[in-house]
Amino acid sequence: MPMVVRSNKQKWVFDSGTKVLVPKRTNQVTLAHNHLQEFDYFPRKGDLVVYAGYRNIVLEVEIPLESYWQQTNVWMGLICHTEIAIEGDAKPLVDVAKIAGLETSTQALTAE
């Protein structure tokens, strides 16, 4: 799905579970309304987005005020705030075209 990705500067955050510093970088993924309609998809908190070979988890979905078309109630796009999933799942994918079975949508599984 076409998207525009903006990344914030990477920070090093203390992880209380492992008691070490871990890298943390958040991304803003902008998706167009017409693409979401074409793919019949609306992002939700907890969804996985593969970007640059890494699995990113959606933390928040936001429709900014400036995305509405003039004075109508029609929005043109939305922003998903994402970050790389937990450390054990943050390894890059070898082949992005072949993701793990649990990461495929249920619609794709029922269509087969």
Give mean pLDDT in consecutive 10-residue pieces for the chain, a chain of 112 residues: 79 76 80 87 86 82 83 84 69 58 52 47
* pLDDT given for residue 103 in this prediction: 54
* pLDDT given for residue 100 in this prediction: 57
Per the DSSP assignment, residues forming a β-bridge with 29 are: 5, 80
With vertex at residue 99, the alpha carbon angle to CA 62 and CA 16, rounded to the nearest 5 degrees, is 60
Nearest 10 degrees: CA dihedral of 78, 83, 86, 91? 110
* pLDDT given for residue 97 in this prediction: 58
* pLDDT given for residue 83 in this prediction: 84
Order of strands, edge to edge, in the sheet holding 77-84? 4-7, 26-32, 77-84, 54-62, 48-51
What pTM, to 2 d.p., does this model score?
Answer: 0.64
* pLDDT given for residue 109 in this prediction: 45
